[in-house]
Amino acid sequence: MKKLTAFLSAFALAVSAVPSFSAAETPAMGDVTGDGQLTGADAAEILRYSSALLSNADPSEECHYYENIRLYGDYNNDGRIDGNDSSAIMRDLINTTDRSLSDVIIEGNSYIAAEYPRMGDVNGDGTVNGTDATIVLKYFSNLLSGYDVSDIEASTYILERGDMNGDSIIDGNDATVILRIFVDENR
C-alpha cells in the first residue's frame, strides 16, 4: 500500500511537471493571429496570405502568422485558404457581435498598418501624416547643419521608411511625398 501510494505520488508529480495544453491555448479556427479571439485582423491576415500566393511571393516571408494560417486559416472548411475564409470570418463577426462591416474593416486595416508598417510611417504609429514629414524635415535639416542625427535614427524608422522617392537620400523631397500621401488619403 505504501509502495502504491508512493508510486501514485511520484506519478502525479511527474504529470504535473509536463506542460498541458488546454483548449484555450490552441487557437480556434480562424484565429490566425493567436490572440484568443476572432477579429478583423484574422480576416486581414488570411487575405494577405491569399495576396502573397497570387503575387507568387513566399507567404512564409510575407505573413508573420504563416504557420497559424496553415493550421487555422481554413475557416470555412472547404480545403482551401483564401478570400472566402476572410469573407466568412467577416460575416460571422458581423452576425455574432455588435460590430459593423466598417468596424471589421477598420480593425483589419489597423492591424495591417501596425503589423506591416508602411513607407513613410517613420514614427511607427501606423499612419503616414504630417508628423512623419516633420521628422523627415528635421532629420534633413540636422544633416545639412552638420548636427548629430543618431538620436533620430535610433528613435524612429527614418532610415528604413524615410526614402520615399527611392533616390537613397532622405530630404525635403521625401517629406513632400509623405505630405502628398497624407492629403490624398484624407480627402
Partner 1 sequence: MKVKKLFALPTAFLSTLIAVPIMNTNAAPPPSNNPQIYIDFTVDNGRMRGDVVFNNVPEVASAGFNIELGDGLKFVPYSGSRYISNCHENFNGMYYFNIIDDQNVAFVYASAAQEDLNGTFFSFYVEPTNVSVPSNSTGNVIFQGLGYLGNDHGSFYSASGSSSIIIETPVILESGEFIYGDADDNTVVDGSDVTRIMAAINEYGNDIPLSSFTENTLTKLPTYTTAFASDVNNDGYIDSTDYTAVLQYYGLMLAGSPYTGNIGTVDIYEIY
Q: Report the interface residues with partner 1, using CB under 8 A.
A: 40, 43-44, 47-48, 50-52, 54-57, 76-78, 80, 82-84, 86-88, 90-91, 93-94, 101, 104-105, 108-109, 118-120, 163-166, 177, 180-181, 183-185
Name the DSSP letter for residue 129: S
Q: For residues 8 and 101, which CB has a smaller minimum distance to partner 1 in the complex?
A: 101
How far apart are CB 80 and partner 1 at their closest, in Å?
7
How far apart are CB 171 and partner 1 at their closest, in Å?
14
Q: For residues 7 and 83, which CB has a smaller minimum distance to partner 1 in the complex?
A: 83
Kindly tell me the sign of the dihedral angle through the C-alpha atoms of 73, 75, 79, 80. Answer: negative
Contact status, residue 140 vs residue 150, Cβ threshold 8 Å: no
Q: Where are the alpha helices (DSSP H) in 58-165?
A: 59-62, 66-72, 83-96, 101-115, 130-145, 150-155, 158-161
Q: For residues 51 and 142, which CB has a smaller minimum distance to partner 1 in the complex?
A: 51
